Every structure is written in structure tokens, then in C-alpha cells.
A and B are shown apart, each in its own frame.
Chain A
Amino acid sequence: MRQKSFYLLLAVAVAFVLLIRSCYQADYTVAGRPVDQMTLAWHASLIVFHVIAAAMFLMTALLSMGLFSRDREDGSMVMLLCRPVDRWQYVLGRIVGIWLLSTAFMLILHLTLFLIVLANTGMMIPGYLSASLLCAVNLLFATVLTCFLALFLPNIMAAAFTLGVVGISFLSDGTFQAMQSALLRHMVAGESQVALWRILFPKVYMLQHYASTWITTSAFDGMPPIYVVANIVFYTGALAAAALWRFYRSEI
């Protein structure tokens, strides 16, 4: 049943992505000048890349929120842990399973779009799929955060909290990134100091933005990419350790 729901959701999502095809078949003009199909396809693909990557946070949070409570209710937890299976193996196995599922889901959607562009325009967007894989690090963060929170909070609260963290990251770092443009810097008077919490906050948006620079091949402004990746990896590792600590202390 679980598998059927997953396949159905995947089919619906792929069908939506396939609808993008019609975008490439229309004639567009900007400031009176026609836009060639290549430029159009490239920009549309970039926007859809971000939409898919952002929508996957919702999907991942929903998949992860009931991971342990579902296993507890349907007997899977006892089924596994009465055997010579360590708790850490169970927790990490479940988390990695959900993460791989989410990653595969996102990669299929990105691959569908990649193939649509290739079929319609003959253009192969470099870095599109590797950027998708980099965004999978964000999904691991979302999975671990939701699973950790679900050990304390009701499932829906855990998912909502995760989406809240992601939302704050998008707002905070999105604003910061926008302020990197010369135009906006001229428009906003005075130099503003970036608050420490904004620097330390999980760099979910920044990682996605950095991944998109693999598609646009533009420079990544604002902070070193290594910090962005290290930030997310650190939070993911710390939350996974905390989830294990909590799970080890809980009753089965």
C-alpha cells in the first residue's frame, strides 16, 4: 500500500513536469524581441529546478515524520529489534532509506525535465543532474531533522518545524543573496551587518543556490561554498547523533 501511494505520487509529479513541454512550444517576445527556444528552455529549466528542489522538502518532511511512530504501531520496530540488530543500525537504516527514496524521487523529476529539454531543443544542460544530487544533501538534512523532532513532538509538528527551518533559511539567505546584487545595494542605503544567527543558521537555501550555479556556471557570491556544504553536513551529523542518543534512551 505504501509502495502504491509512492508510485502514484511519483507518476502525478512526473505528469506535472511533462506539462512543462508546452512552454517550449510557444513563441515568446520580451521587449518586442522574440526569445529563442534555447534561452527559454534554459531559464524555464532553472526555475523548475528550484521549484522541484523546494517542493521536495515538503515531500521529505511528510515521508519522514511518521517513520518511527508508524514502525512502532505496525510492529516493524519490534520485528527488527528483537533480532541481532543494533538500534543505531535501525535508526540510520530507516533514515538513509527515506533519504534515498526522496533523492530518487527528486532525481527522476529533474531527469524528466532534463530529457524534455534535450528532446525539444537538443540542448544538454551541463551540471543539471549533478546539481540535483548536491541538493540531495539538503534532503538528508530535512529527513534527519524531521526524524529527530518526531522523537519528541507529534508527527505533524515535527514536519511543520522542519518546513519552518527551511522557510527561515530561504527568507534569511534569499534576502542576503539578493543583497549581493549591485543594484539592490545601491537601492538600500547604508551597510547592514549580518547577524551571527543568520551566518550560523542551516544554509539550506545557500546549498540549493550553490547547486544552481553548477547549471548557470555563474560565480557563487556571498560566502565560501565549502562553508555552505560544511554547515549542512555539520547540522545533519549533529542531528543524527542527537536522534540516536534520544532513540537509545527510548522504550521500544
Chain B
Amino acid sequence: MISFENVTKRYGNLVAVDAVSYTLHKGESFALLGPNGAGKTTLVRMLLGFSRCTAGKIAIRGVPAGRSASRHKLGYLAELHRIPPYLSGFEYLMRQAALCGLTGSEAKTSVRDILKKVGMDGLEKKKAAHYSKGMTQRLGLGAALLGEPEMLVLDEPVSGLDPLGVRDVRVLLEAFKKSGGTIILNSHRLSEVEKLCDSVAIMDRGRIVVKGDLAHIVQQNETLEDVFIRHVEGKIT
């Protein structure tokens, strides 16, 4: 469904992403892990067409990343999600609904439904400038879920959320996964990744140092955190 073939991104002499290859199948919940500056966000940005690959190619359902058709039925939540401050939560979601091709009463119904799902029902009339970080994040997740997406690309989705918010997001994502949706999760919250994802790739300095099914990567009597530290610190046994 999503293929990365020798994807490389250079900024001058700095290699942000170095020959990354991976194929993600439909319905897979995949986590991209790594320390800060490992190249995870750059990879996600290239997937969405926000940044161009220096070498290699990315395709979504066979369509090269960057083309508008590749973002069809794709929901995205950015790490530092921002909502134009002059829009209310409802207006923001209505605009997102329009971009998904929803109009009129269909759009309003979808937006009302999403507002309930992300726990923002009753708060939608406030301007975005008055929302907390957690509220903005919830609305961003709501926007990503609009238009019945087939895949979600989430960059730190629980950033800024309290424990209840984290649980709510997990429940939403589990429901999405059960409905057959594909998830790409870029997160530092390893416990959440363990609960939600089937497969992981750990990146360090632009390269994937380990990838595969979570069940195969995490051995008995260890956690994902142990695996992460072991690979990122270079103490691979």
C-alpha cells in the first residue's frame, strides 16, 4: 500500500534520511521510532509531499508521493498541529470536510460526529486562538479522521494530551485499526506503540536500524524500550 524505496534526503552535507526502504501493507499499524533528529519527521513529510526525496521514491497505492491523488483518503496529524487562529473548531473541521469532498448536511453531520468522538463536543464554537494544546491536538485528530480515511499518518498524536486524552486517542485509533485502516505512527511514547502497533522501524541518524513485526523484534522478558535503547545506543547483541 505504501512503499519506500531507497528514500534519501540530504540538506547540503547533512543526510537526514539515508536509503530507507520499507513496504507497508493495508491494515498494518506501523510505528516509526527513533531519537530526536533521526529523520522520522522528514520521512513523514516526504510521504505527504511536503518535502522532495533527494533520491529514491515513495508511492502510496502506486501513486508517487507528492501527487494530490496520493493523499486521497489519507488523514494527517502534524506534530505541532496548528489551526488558523481566526477559525473556530467547527469552522476548521467544516473546511477540512469540504477538502474531503463533503458538503452541506453531510459535512455538518460528519463534523458533529467527529467532535463527539474526539471529546470536543460543546467546545467547537471557540476560536482556535483560545484552545489549549491538547484541544488543538484533538481537533487535529478529528480533522485527520474526517472523510473516512483509509490511512492515518500521525506525528506525535498524543503530544500535549493528559492521560485521559491519551486513552481516548488510543481507543479511537484502535477502532480505526479494527475497521481495517492503516496507521503510520511517529511517536516517542513506546508504551502506546506497544499497545497499538503491529510493526515498527527504529531509525537512527537517517537509517533504519531495525524493522519488522513487533512480536519478532521484542524478545521475551524485554520491552520495546529495551529494544529501542539497545539499537539506538549501538549495543546490538
A1-B86, A2-B86 in contact; A81/B50 too (CB < 8 A)?
Answer: yes
Confirm or deny: B61 has a beta carbon within 8 angstroms of a beta carbon on chain A: no
Roughly how many angstroms separate A139 CA and B147 CA in the complex, as a whole number?
Answer: 37
Number of interface residues of A (CB under 8 A): 20
A contacts with B: majority SS: helix
Band of interface residues on B: 20 to 34
Question: Are A79 and B50 interface neighbours, CB within 8 A?
Answer: no
Give the shortest distance, in Å, between B45 (CB) and chain A (any CB). Answer: 7
User: Which of A73, A76, A80, A89 has most B Cβ within 10 Å?
Assistant: A76
In-complex Cβ contact of A79 among B48, B72, B84 (8 A) = B84
Mark out the residues of chain A between 71 and 99 whose CB falls within 8 Å of any chain B CB in the assembled complex.
73-76, 78-86, 89
Give the chain B neighbours of A86 by CB distance below 8 A.
67-68
Roughly how many angstroms separate A152 CA and B114 CA in the complex, as a whole number?
Answer: 39
Give the chain A neighbours of B83 by CB distance below 8 A.
74-75, 79
Mark out the residues of chain A between 86 and 136 whose CB falls within 8 Å of any chain B CB in the assembled complex.
86, 89
In-complex Cβ contact of A78 among B50, B51, B69 (8 A) = B50
Confirm or deny: A251 has a beta carbon within 8 angstroms of a beta carbon on chain B: yes
Confirm or deny: B99 has a beta carbon within 8 angstroms of a beta carbon on chain A: yes
Question: Are B51 and A75 interface neighbours, CB within 8 A?
Answer: no
Give the chain A neighbours of B78 by CB distance below 8 A.
75, 78, 82
A75 to chain B: closest residue by CB: B82
A4 to chain B: closest residue by CB: B86
Roughly how many angstroms separate A83 CA and B143 CA in the complex, as a whole number?
Answer: 10
Question: Are A84 and B50 interface neighbours, CB within 8 A?
Answer: no
Confirm or deny: A183 has a beta carbon within 8 angstroms of a beta carbon on chain B: no
17 A/B residue pairs, CB under 8 Å, sorted by A: A1-B85, A74-B85, A75-B78, A76-B84, A78-B76, A79-B92, A79-B95, A79-B99, A81-B49, A81-B50, A82-B48, A83-B96, A84-B72, A85-B71, A89-B68, A252-B49, A252-B50
